[in-house]
Homo-oligomer: A and B are copies of this chain.
């Protein structure tokens, strides 16, 4: 995209939102040192802004966030992007409704990912945000790891949603087996919010199993009821 075709005002807004989403990850204690990253997309232009790689959260500035096309071409910025960029871009290409992605190594969600287990919907906190279990990918094959590993991480995520017929807007997070969680939302801020709630839900599910090893999930009726309180036409939560 030639520089004169860029809507600089829209890009500035996007970078500010992405900066705030990254700072939210740090403020909520979801990231250690430079771990983790959040990104956002401007669907009009198709531009994606993302955290630069290895930069401490306290030093992030909006204008330093590198910007890429949806196909991964650098459009603007001097810093190298998060090494997870290609996972983010794949999610934006495949999940048309999302506007932000957040990746952390938050400790309980990561433990579920390392254990290779989906997080069951054990209660209404889960149901309020995730309309069913938070799925875990299959382990990547050796060829997928040796090949375009970061892209393939995204492919593993979208594959589990496709094969399970899961709506990514209804279950806005996934666990990558042996790795860590990715969360998303309509905006970068919502993606980070979902990453924070996911960690709380992961903790409570962990505690629940310790207290009741063969605990079953909440009923489908309760799952639907709570999810519909926060989302869609029947939403009653909030002031909107």
A residues with CB within 8 A of B: 32-35, 52-55, 79-80, 83, 105, 107-108, 110-117, 122-125, 139-140, 142, 145-146, 149, 178-180, 193, 196-197, 200, 203-212, 215, 218-219, 221-222, 225, 229, 236-240
Instruction: Assess the B196–A114 pair: CB atoms within 8 A.
Output: no
Which of B105, B116, B207, B218 lies in contact with A178, CB distance below 8 A?
B218
Query: Known interface pairs A124-B178, A222-B145. Does A203 touch B238 (Cβ–Cβ under 8 Å)?
Result: no
Q: With a CB–CB cut-off of 8 A, which chain B residues contact A196?
A: 32-33
A53 to chain B, nearest CB (A): 5
Choose among A146, A196, A238 the residue with the greatest number of B CB atoms under 10 Å from its CB. A238
Instruction: Assess the B219–A142 pair: CB atoms within 8 A.
Output: yes
Instruction: Assess the A238–B53 pair: CB atoms within 8 A.
Output: yes
Which of B146, B180, B204 lies in contact with A114, CB distance below 8 A?
B204
Question: Oligomeric state, in number of copies?
Answer: 4
Q: With a CB–CB cut-off of 8 A, which chain B residues contact A116?
A: 212, 215
A76 to chain B, nearest CB (A): 16
Instruction: Assess the A206–B211 pair: CB atoms within 8 A.
Output: yes
Sample of 13 more A-B contacts, CB < 8 Å, known A116-B212, A139-B219: A33-B193, A52-B239, A54-B238, A80-B239, A105-B200, A111-B208, A123-B178, A123-B179, A123-B180, A140-B222, A145-B219, A145-B222, A206-B211
Which of B111, B215, B222, B237 lies in contact with A53, CB distance below 8 A?
B237
Instruction: Assess the A229–B83 pair: CB atoms within 8 A.
Output: yes
Query: Known interface pairs A122-B178, A178-B218, A237-B54. Does A211 touch B146 (Cβ–Cβ under 8 Å)?
Result: no
A36 to chain B, nearest CB (A): 11
Q: With a CB–CB cut-off of 8 A, which chain B residues contact A34?
A: 238
Q: With a CB–CB cut-off of 8 A, which chain B residues contact A193?
A: 33
